[in-house]
Amino acid sequence: MPEAPKERTLVLVKPDGVRRGLVGEVVTRLERKGLTIVAARMVRLTRPIAETHYAEHRGKPFYGELVEYITSAPVLALAVEGRSAITVVRALVGATDPAKAAPGTLRGDLALAMTSNLVHASDSPASAERELALHFHDKDFVRYTRTDAEYV
């Protein structure tokens, strides 16, 4: 059976995750799974960046709340690589609604509200490409080999 392709995706530790001191927990779970963090940046998103990031939700009733929330405090932007990284990260993150997120997922274990649900994770290759380009430049990505690469 062929190996799953290596992908790169975006993870944002949202303002509630940063303010609650859960950045380390998010990073730990990503790394324990065998994913590689190839770029990281602590930033306070501007309104134009937030509006572009959430563009697919423009016009929906919750759009304004999303933009206000994501710009309310710093976020940690992470570029994460690994086999089937988009699917794997989405599984680690859990359902968008923390009340429906399975125990063992980040949202299932640590979040309670829809908007302040700890993390954002790209939901498709197209979203990952668009979102990574919004938050990082090519020069930001660092290549290295994890010592456990042959096992993950």
3-state secondary structure the chain: CCCCCEEEEEEEECHHHHHCCCHHHHHHHHHHHCCEEEEEEEECCCHHHHHHHCHHHCCCCCHHHHHHHHCCCCEEEEEEEEECHHHHHHHHHCCCCCCCCCCCCHHHHHCCCCCCCCEEECCCHHHHHHHHHHHCCHHHCCCCCCCCHHHC
Q: In what order do the strands lie in the sheet with 36-43?
A: 36-43, 75-83, 6-13, 119-121
Which SS3 state, helix, strand or coil, does residue 120 take? strand
pLDDT (tens digit per residue) in 15-24: 999 999 999 9
Is the pLDDT confidence value at 2 over 70?
Answer: no
User: Is the whole model's pTM more than 0.85, yes or no?
Assistant: yes
> What is the pLDDT confidence band of residue 149, given thresholds at 50, 70 and 90?
confident
Is the pLDDT confidence value at 114 over 90?
Answer: no
Share of the chain above pLDDT 90, in %: 89
Q: Please tell me the distance from the alpha carbon of residue 23 to that of residue 73, in angstroms, as a whole number.
A: 14
Q: Please tell me the distance from the alpha carbon of residue 34 to that of residue 146, in angstroms, as a whole number.
A: 9
Catalytic member of 53, 57, 120, 135: 120
CATH superfamily of 6-141: Nucleoside diphosphate kinase-like domain (3.30.70.141)
Write down the domain spans for the chain: 6-141
pLDDT (tens digit per residue) in 64-94: 999 999 999 999 999 999 999 999 999 999 9
Is 120 known to be catalytic? yes
